[in-house]
Structure 1
Amino acid sequence: MKITKLRVTPVNIPLEKPLWWTGGHYPGTSKAIIEVETDEGLIGLGESPSVEVVQTIEAMGERLVGQDPLDIAACEAKTLPPWQIVQNTDDSSVVKAFGAIEIALWDLRGKVFGEPLYKLLGGAVRKDIPFTEYFGFRDGGEMSAHDVADYCLLMREQHGSTMFEGKLIRGDPQLEIETVKALRTALGPRDMIRLDSNMQWSVPTAIHVLREIEPFNIRNYEDPVATFEEMAVLRKHSAIPFSSHIPDIRRAVRAGVPDFIVTNFAVLGGINRAVRFIGACEAMGVGFWCYSGDAGVATAAYLHMSAAMPWITEPSQSLFRWQVGDVIENGPFRQKNNVVAVPEGPGLGVTLDRDALAFWNNHLVEHGPLDHFFDPAKPGRFRRLPLA
């Protein structure tokens, strides 16, 4: 079997309402969907976490024509410099580009052998994969502490959700403190509350916020400050566990923080390298879960890896409820009673919805990639929150 073609399609995945974060408005995200075609008629699906690597993926695809898609090591050697060089440059785009393609090669592998990805990875230690429900301040939606608490209660009533994570980001530390109190009062003592600050706070403000919210049983606080070193200072003032999107285990072990790494498999270079990365996390006592905002192809990879990796014990993040579209049939995924079942079909176990793929590609062509720093009052301008 040989690779005959690689096709990449950039798409937008909007949210139903813009969410506030440290960069301003978050209206959704843009992804690149990869299809690796073979001379036997099989197609493997992959997904890049961003669209700036589309041209890199296309160039890699040209090099991969004629390669055996089951020989992933040879495909990597054909497209990437030696890993020690990749790791010592400032440009991570080649890693994300190949990582997205590599997911498609694993999807192909599963289709060749007629087995779901989790079986190729050693089998499932769990079949129902936990995800958190998301909350935050949204224009046209929840914009007060009690609004956020009422929304979470509604999700518990309608969907059985008891695991919650969110961004309480408006540049106002007192608003975050009040919202945490409202959430814990509404949800009771047992429901999970995790927070994500997107590096919002200065160290003095973070110390104040963490001291105020610690009595309310916060399961984890993601990126409260800008660096691991600043996080280490916070550790002296708070017992709340920390997580980060920065996948640097060496620094995490040196600093003693964060306690968890939260990332995307393409960012790590694909499924193979993610397996090794998670194994290194386990060896060093650093937890791991997956982040949010992806289309259904990457989400399916999360499901299979979480099924097969015993070390992923915490729920991964989820924006499922807010995503208004997807590129897979019957997407987006939706959790019920906190979980999504791992797909049982071969490979990733998902099928592209061609009409949806064309629709969301056209959305990107007409509107441009979704700008995470979008200011609706001044198109093309950043809307910045003040750093407290």
Structure 2
Amino acid sequence: MTIKITGVRVTPIAFRDPPLLNAAGIHEPYALRSIIEVEAGELLGLGESYGDAPVLAALTAIAPALAGLEIHDLNGLERVIKEELAKLPAAKAGAELAPGSQPSRLLANCFSAFEVAFLDLQAKAAGLPLHALLGGAVRREVPFSAYLFFKYERHIEPEEAPDEWGEAITPEQIVAQAKRMIDMYGFGSIKLKAGTLPPEVEIASIEALSKAFPGLPLRIDPNGAWSMQTALDAAQKLGPLIEYYEDPVAGLDGMAQLHRETGLPLATNMVVISFDGFRESIKRNSVQIVLSDHHYWGGLRATQHLATMCNTFNLGLSMHSNSHLGISLMAMAHLAAATPNLSYACDTHYPWVEDADEVVVGGKVAISGGCVRVGDTPGLGVELDRARLARAHATFNRISIRTRDDLGQMRKYDPDFSGKQPRY
């Protein structure tokens, strides 16, 4: 039976984001996303992607050209995307994207955004949950990790009120943040975003977490902000406490050297973000765990190929996260449910999202026991709430942010902040 695309909508949205610190600077008051709707008669497939101006321009340009494609024609989808991207002005096609992506990844970003919606359609047409389309669930409960951030109490903009999580710039405050997040969601592992404060504060925070949560797996992610010497010195204290060391230094060669000198398992979502990078990492033994992200690996099917490669070379596998909503979370969950060699709990920023800002029916997707459950509802298992979507789109239209700029935002607090790496 042939089912063809009859219409595509791309809706830019914005939702509130706390003042979370990272190596690049600090989150702005609002995060940007794009909600994709692909219609095939009475069926509707959903996707979610970056909302920064370059990606939004590309998605918007591609959308009308998809009409008439058959919902199973992913090769045709890729062909049309390539054709439409080739027509874009160089300034749009080559602009910087959200952190975790690169200009050269625009094709992968766009394909992933629409591929999820196509696969959602395919699963609904077949009356199957998405995980069944991806090979079948090997787990129904997908584990996620508590994602901790050093943060300020409030954004610098006077109109922005303090968020409910409060300040976290000391080890004691980080432990309190972890306790609250674990009490709310039941997470069984913890990740700390580092590379923001002096390393001794961040190391002390891991030590405090280890004492407060004995036996819970811990991770630290300096996002390449540490020099080799800092990373080596930190490894002496962190090594016995962490399950893996994520991107402490920059580059494939730097990571390879650090692994040789410490023997610690290194994870990345920075130095291996393509199959070319994967090949070079294998040559050097740069990383032992790959943190996938379907948004910039080129979709769910491509991430399954990555999982096969990780299995072939005996590498660990997990998932990276950016600021996202429930459609992306469910795409991650269905993919993780159907990936046998998912070695570690996945990352997610989702606890930082307020329920009022979610765009799916029923509000935020439930996380219980640290897991997202995938069921048997056809497709992704979520539906758009039109009123919520309209509010999020109105927020986008109200604000002036059009491309994420953590560095520029940080300079509002500290005009001398350079963002230069390594920072410490």
Give the TM-score, by structure 2 length. 0.83
SS at match of 1:329: coil
Aligned to 1:260: 289
Aligned to 1:116: 129
Flag the 1:58–1:377 CA change in 2: closer, same or farther, 3 A.
closer
Flag the 1:288–1:13 CA change in 2: closer, same or farther, 3 A.
farther
Flag the 1:314–1:331 CA change in 2: closer, same or farther, 3 A.
farther
Flag the 1:381–1:49 CA change in 2: closer, same or farther, 3 A.
farther
SS at match of 1:294: coil
**What is the rounded CA distance, in whole Å, between the counterparts of 1:213 and 1:201 in structure 2?**
14
SS at match of 1:375: helix
Flag the 1:207–1:301 CA change in 2: closer, same or farther, 3 A.
same
Letter in 1 for 2:130: L
**What is the rounded CA distance, in whole Å, between the counterparts of 2:61 and 2:69 in structure 1?**
14
Flag the 1:359–1:230 CA change in 2: closer, same or farther, 3 A.
same
Aligned to 2:398: 366
Equivalences for residues 22-33 of structure 1 within 5 A = 22-27=23-28, 29-33=31-35
What is the count of residue pairs matched by the alignment? Answer: 378
Deviations 1:193-243 (A, max 9, x none): 111111111111111111221132x01121111112101111123233211
Aligned to 1:332: 364
Match of 1:197 among 210, 222, 247: 222
Equivalences for residues 65-104 of structure 1 within 5 A = 65-80=67-82, 91-104=104-117
Q: CA deviation at 1:361?
A: 1.9
Flag the 1:14–1:291 CA change in 2: closer, same or farther, 3 A.
farther
CA contact (8 A) 1:202 1:225 kept: yes
Letter in 1 for 2:151: R
Flag the 1:100–1:379 CA change in 2: closer, same or farther, 3 A.
farther
Q: Choose 126-135 or 352-361, whichever is displaced more.
A: 352-361
Q: Percent identity?
A: 28
Equivalences for residues 282-361 of structure 1 within 5 A = 282-292=311-321, 293-324=323-354, 325-361=357-393
Q: Choose 50-59 or 193-202, whichever is displaced more.
A: 50-59
SS at match of 1:346: coil
Q: Choose 98-107 or 278-287, whichever is displaced more.
A: 278-287
Q: CA deviation at 1:374?
A: 4.6
Deviations 1:295-321 (A, max 9, x none): 111111111111111011311002222
Q: Choose 329-338 or 280-289, whichever is displaced more.
A: 329-338
Flag the 1:4–1:382 CA change in 2: closer, same or farther, 3 A.
farther
**What is the rounded CA distance, in whole Å, between the counterparts of 2:326 and 2:184 in structure 1?**
22
**What is the rounded CA distance, in whole Å, between the counterparts of 1:240 and 1:111 in structure 2?**
44
Deviations 1:131-173 (A, max 9, x none): 0011121111212011111222333344433311121333411
Give the TM-score, by structure 1 length. 0.91
**What is the rounded CA distance, in whole Å, between the counterparts of 1:66 and 1:256 in structure 2?**
45
**What is the rounded CA distance, in whole Å, between the counterparts of 1:26 and 1:166 in structure 2?**
16
Q: CA deviation at 1:360?
A: 1.7
Flag the 1:21–1:281 CA change in 2: closer, same or farther, 3 A.
same
Structure 2: where are the runs of 5+ without partners? Answer: 84-101, 154-166
Letter in 2 for 1:14: R
SS at match of 1:373: helix
Equivalences for residues 267-286 of structure 1 within 5 A = 267-286=296-315
RMSD: 2.3
**What is the rounded CA distance, in whole Å, between the counterparts of 2:324 and 2:103 in structure 1?**
24
Deviations 1:319-351 (A, max 9, x none): 222112222123433422211111431111110
Structure 1: where are the runs of 5+ without partners? Answer: 82-88
1:176 lines up with 2:202 in the alignment:
yes
Letter in 2 for 1:294: H
CA contact (8 A) 1:44 1:105 kept: yes
Match of 2:175 among 120, 127, 149: 149
Letter in 2 for 1:222: E
